[in-house]
Structure 1
Amino acid sequence: MESRGLVLVAEDDAAIAELVTLYLRRDGFGVRVESDGRAALAAARQVKPVAVILDIGLPLMDGIEVCRALRAEGDWTPVLFVTARDDEVDRVLGLELGADDYVTKPFSPRELVARVRTVLRRANGPGAAEVLQAGGTRLDLGARRVWTEAGEVALTSTEFDLLAYLMRRPGQVFERAQLLSAVWGYSAAAGTRTVDVHVAQLRAKLGAFSPIRTVRGVGYSAERQ
């Protein structure tokens, strides 16, 4: 089987790391495992993985700090966090952190691998040669780049696809479950809280130029140009 690329797994629980490695390799990925945050950051810089799976509770340097360091260096490799509690989600996917997705322990390794494939498909999939504009924000689908009147804005692959989905359908209101299914590929049973967090991330990055509007009691829409 041709390799899908190398995934960096940063996990200090050896049993979990072994299980995740097994499922990733079954799916055709190469795997590099590190058990502490400093080693994970060094490995990410060295091997340039296609995706990073980061446990939050890493020794020496936690997963949040590893992700923050990568983003500060301009490295937007897809990052999936592994978190121990649901109530960590807001902190894990903090407004300026730039995570693409997360799973909560205990998790299905099969689901984790599926989420890795999903973020890679979003990050690497071909885009149409189309430019969308609304609310002071311009989005180039082909180049996967976004600008506001204040300059270019760096988005994760998930943030980009959520924004693109809304901007391609201006004025249409989507429930959170609809967005979760369309953008993430998950059922509503997976929880719609991540939609709210990613919308908050987008608004923080786009500032006053954000085209996203909240429709109280329903969901979200993008304003018309």
Structure 2
Amino acid sequence: MTAELGMLPLAEREQELPPRQAGARASNQHWTEATGAQLLVVDPFVDHEQLAEDMSTRGVHVTCVGSTLDALIEFGRLRPTAVVVAPETPGLPAVDFVRKVREYGPTFVVAALDRADAPEAGPLLLAGAGAAMTRPYTAETVWDILDKSGNSFDDHAKVSFGPIELDTRAYLVRINGERIADLPLKEFELLRTLMYSAPEVLSNDELRLSLWGDTHAGPADNTISVHVARLRNRLQGIARIRRIRGRGYSLTLGS
């Protein structure tokens, strides 16, 4: 059950660059902002892997950390669309963490509580949290709260490049308006990532960060090559995935 204990007014979000201008984001930090919505989860008690997998099908990258101190570092790196924080998380007190986050902009903060009437709810809302939810929560719970708050991830859900249209919320791809057979999850995420930055070149580390949430936790380069090869075969005659030796991959139009 989700308990929305209060919604606080938020400043208007900074306007995002459109996907085709994502190449103007020079640094890795800014590049990740342009490739989809970012959710930072500061809760050592949630099933991180399941949440990340379920949110990825909606075009949302989940980064999970076990302390509020680590969360501050990740917040500075990612500038996430939304943050989930549990009051019991070790490190900086959760109330102070929320205040710090709110100092730097309109990121929406959701408190994760053990019960709806938890005493921590009030201080977290006063510190700047916009809503609260009870455990156990799911990707659908988080999505629903953000939808109701006006901080939906929908702006990141759709992207197009040439004749290709991709909708992460509906999990579908259209070519010239016609829906194609569903892609395996990683190929779907790979296509979305390449489309967001096309025709810019993305390195293997940038692809790991986008598809697996970490440049170190992702697979080896040859595994990425396999995913690229499979997606390339599906796009024959529609678009081309170029491999630039020593740099990475780029999506361009034409075979």
- Smaller-chain TM-score range? 0.3 to 0.5
- Between structure 1 and structure 2, the one with the greater Rg is 2
Between 1 and 2, higher relative CO (CA 8 Å, sep ≥ 6) is seen in: 2
TM-score (norm 2): 0.42
TM-score (norm 1): 0.47
